[in-house]
Amino acid sequence: MKPVWKENEDAALLRCDDREGDFTRSDTWRVFRIQAEIVDGFEQLSKVGRACTVFGSARMPEDHKYYAMARDTGAALAKHNVAVITGGGPGIMQAANEGARGAGGLSIGCNIELPHEQKANPFLDIDIDFRYFFVRKLMLVKYSVGFVILPGGFGTMDELFEALTLAQTGKIEKFPVVVMGKDYWDGMLQWLQSSMEDQGMISPGDLKLLHVTDDPQEAADHIVQRS
């Protein structure tokens, strides 16, 4: 069932007209809310230490092999003393947080206000709510030493390609990106090489920014060794 749409801060920010005519709903006023959200995120995450963000579908059931893969990856990262950050929701996010907490590591959720509510999963030591997607994305990059990408939808793809773009353009360095779930990503990976690389849309070697594995320990080791 398609979720019922309702107004949210991102939608209000991205709307080009000012329907209310109220200063407290204007773009100028929103600058202060955005600033406050950034400051709050910085304060809550600045002392976390080394952390890795794990992305993946909120729709993944707990009995799925990818849920187990994410949980084991979270545990492997925790055993390296690397905190695990997720979007804080269910599915793959919950699995990674569950694995981190179960292994004695720090488990963090950076939740986002959505038109359809997303509840925080029960395995979070730190739970931060964001109104704005771009502020949340800033925190996920700034306080992570790398990304682990498991099967997911548009949001997961967005995070994957943003990380690759930042690394490719030199905006960030020593930022490993691990892709897990070979059978899920196989078609995309083939297309990246056969279309994007072969036609010169990316440089030879850009695909080496991705490390592909289904082994949770290998994924954690790669993050630690390359960051």
- Given this model, what pLDDT does residue 174 score? 86
* Percent of the residues in the chain that have a pLDDT greater than 70, as a whole number: 86
- Given this model, what pLDDT does residue 30 score? 84
Question: Please, which pLDDT band fits residue 45 given cuts at 50, 70 and 90?
Answer: very high
In order, the DSSP letters of the chain are: -PPPP---HHHHHH-SS-SS--GGGSHHHHHHHHHHHHHHHHHHHTTS-SEEEEE--TT--TTSHHHHHHHHHHHHHHHTT-EEEE-SSSTHHHHHHHHHHHTT--EEEEEE--SS--PPPTT-SEEEEES-HHHHHHHHHHT-S-EEE-S--HHHHHHHHHHHHHHHTTSS-S--EEE--HHHHHHHHHHIIIIIITTTSS-TTGGGGEEE-S-HHHHHHHHHHH-
Q: What is the pLDDT of residues 105-143, one digit of tens each?
A: 999 999 987 766 568 999 999 999 999 999 999 999 999
Q: What is the pLDDT of residues 163-188, one digit of tens each?
A: 999 999 999 988 999 999 999 999 99
- Given this model, what pLDDT does residue 160 score? 96
Residue ranges of domains in the chain = 21-226
> Mean per-residue pLDDT for 141-170?
95
- Given this model, what pLDDT does residue 1 score? 46
Q: What pTM, to 2 d.p., does this model score? A: 0.87
- Given this model, what pLDDT does residue 5 score? 42
The architecture (CATH level 2) of 21-226 comes to 3-Layer(aba) Sandwich (3.40)
